[in-house]
Amino acid sequence: MTPLERNHVTVAGDPGGRPIVFIHGIGSDQQAWAGVAGALADRHRIVLLDNVGAGQSDPAAFVKHRYLNLEAYAEDVAQVMAALELRDVLIVGHSIGGMIGAITARHVPDRAAALALVATSPRYLTEEGYPGGLRREDIDEIYRAATRDFGDWAQQFAEATTGQPADSASGRRFLAALNAVPRERLLTVLCSTLQTDHRREVERIAVPTLILQPSEDPFVPLAVAEYLHDHIPGSRLEVLVSRGHLPHVDNAPGVAQAIRRFEQGLSPRR
């Protein structure tokens, strides 16, 4: 199976424009980028993919021990970029997709031109000197709730993530994507998300970076976006009016406009 088949890659937009690779977050798939990608397709080559274990990615590709950290996801994205022979790529990632993008840029510095981190956190656990947003007991309770009654937890998670009731249009869409992921697989991804610390990875980012932070995010406080801004030299921080953890869904025009402004300020394509 090719990397394009494994990650169910979709390519659209202007073949001559700067490529933008979109990486989704937990409990989601490439469809979450539809509004943003559609708004940018007139001038960019759009590359959408499903992380292994999500969406319509190859089910056989998900090997639990391999995907306990984000390195494997980043290797997959790097292989997709190589298969498409992409250069001067703007990598856009949401939530853990942002950290996957940062790791990818390190793996393939000859292909990555810039990063856009949307509602991204390198570390969810609050520690002395670092305001991650979640206490240890909060994370423990997430695991307990997800294993005790997955259906009830999924509904509450969908409401918190979207900032909307679970029976709203956005709540139903997110809940459907969440429920499409096998339970054990989703718990593995939760583990790889909540228990890891990618702050050192942040310090290694060496490309122009845009940080897009929702104004009301239940999982990533503004202090985390400010931490990223402080630790990524030359980065740009923009706060978007958006309630929930999905600004690219809730405020797709605002996210697309911010990405377009950022991309226009990058060096011309080589």
Confidence class for position 9, pLDDT limits 50, 70, 90? very high
Which one of 29, 50, 76, 95 is the catalytic residue?
95
Kindly state the tokens that stand for 204: 């290694």
* Polymer length of the chain: 270
Closest CA to 121 of 49, 218, 240: 218
Q: Is residue 168 flagged as an active site residue? A: no
Is residue 29 among the annotated active site residues?
no
List pLDDT tens digits, range 136-159. 898 888 888 888 888 888 888 888
Among 28-32, 45-49, 124-128, name the most confident range: 45-49
Domains of the chain: 3-264 (3.40.50.1820)
Q: What is the pLDDT of residues 199-220, one digit of tens each?
A: 999 999 999 999 999 999 999 9
Nearest to 116 by CA among 149, 92, 141, 83: 92
Q: In whole angstroms, give the CA distance from residue 152 to residue 220.
A: 22
- The catalytic position among 217, 235, 242, 248 is 217
Which of 8, 94, 245, 248 does the annotation list as catalytic? 245
Average pLDDT of span 66-77 = 91
Per the annotation, the verdict on 217 as an active-site residue is yes
> What is the average pLDDT value for the chain, to the nearest integer?
92
Report, as an integer, the average pLDDT of 169-188.
Answer: 81
Asked if pLDDT for residue 270 goes beyond 70, the answer is no
Q: Confidence class of residue 75 from pLDDT cuts 50, 70 and 90? A: very high
Q: What are the angstrom distances between the C-alpha of 76 and each of 2, 154, 182?
A: 11, 27, 20
pLDDT at 269 over 70: no
More confident call, 138 vs 192: 138
Structure tokens at 201: 């990875």
Residue indicated by tokens 């306990």: 68
